[in-house]
């Protein structure tokens, strides 16, 4: 059964969504992310993907107090990302209640630092964020596309112990046009034992069904919930 991982993106402690990572498209869905998280929990969801968009922009963790509220007032397993550049950021995230953290740009720009995190904190607590534009890795809030090819990038970290990867096809994120199933299958063909978490483009329960049929282990989704295209009760068959 595919694992469902709804997302809460944070700006100034509020639950927001962006389109294709563009801060100018910010839309506030709820002033209180805890209210949203409790709705997920009350409907049988077990895990939450939290992104500190302020942190991503500032280059260090910002919304850790909101993370702490979510972690202490729900039983959700939280993976947290956004702006984690130094070991101190990870320690704050873990102390604030995150069970896992995601590193993206840091894994590209400072691979020795990211590799050290895997060794120190354990691969079960470190998720690789692999955001892609036309199969090339994108960093810095997707403002910069690198020359690194997506699949070799993932393979290199798999050999260093990474077992969990969140892959976002930037072209699909926030567009509600369906996920990049062919891309995810290509990744799993190359790295069959990977816990691949699909992200971006989910617009309906049918999209989740298609991902499950394709053998994708987990899926992150947000906008489809917030825009009412997916009702929480519709997710019960997956829980």
Q: Which residues belong to the active site?
A: 9, 131
What are 154's strand-pairing partners? none
What are 49's strand-pairing partners? 7, 79
- Phi-psi region at 165: left, alpha or beta (left = phi > 0; alpha = psi -120 to 50): beta
- Phi-psi region at 80: left, alpha or beta (left = phi > 0; alpha = psi -120 to 50): beta
CA distance 183 to 229: 24
Task: Provide the token pair at 93.
Answer: 């995230």
Neighbours of 140 (CB within 10 A): 16
CA distance 123 to 100: 9
Task: Assess contact for 90 and 121: CB atoms under 8 A.
Answer: yes
What are 132's strand-pairing partners? 137, 169
């Amino acid at each position: 059964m595919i694992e469902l991982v709804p997302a809460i993106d944070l700006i100034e402690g509020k639950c927001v969504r962006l389109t294709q990572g563009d801060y100018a498209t910010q839309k506030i869905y709820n002033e209180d992310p805890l209210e949203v998280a409790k709705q997920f929990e009350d409907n049988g969801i077990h895990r939450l993907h939290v992104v500190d968009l302020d942190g991503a922009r500032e280059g260090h963790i910002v919304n850790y107090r909101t993370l702490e509220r979510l972690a202490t007032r729900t039983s959700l397993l939280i993976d947290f990302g956004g702006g984690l550049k130094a070991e101190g950021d990870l320690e704050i995230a873990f102390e604030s209640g995150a069970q896992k953290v995601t590193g993206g740009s840091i894994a590209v720009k400072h691979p020795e630092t990211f590799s050290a995190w895997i060794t120190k904190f354990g691969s079960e607590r470190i998720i690789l964020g692999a955001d892609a534009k036309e199969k090339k890795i994108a960093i810095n809030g997707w403002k910069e596309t690198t020359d690194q090819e997506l699949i070799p990038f993932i393979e290199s970290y798999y050999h260093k112990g990474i077992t969990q990867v969140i892959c976002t096809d930037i072209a699909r994120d926030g567009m509600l046009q369906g996920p990049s199933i062919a891309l995810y299958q290509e990744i799993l063909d190359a790295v069959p034992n990977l816990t691949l978490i699909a992200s971006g483009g989910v617009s309906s329960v049918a999209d989740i069904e298609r991902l499950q049929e394709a053998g994708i282990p987990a899926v992150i989704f947000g906008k489809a919930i917030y825009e009412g295209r997916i009702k929480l009760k519709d997710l019960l068959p997956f829980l």
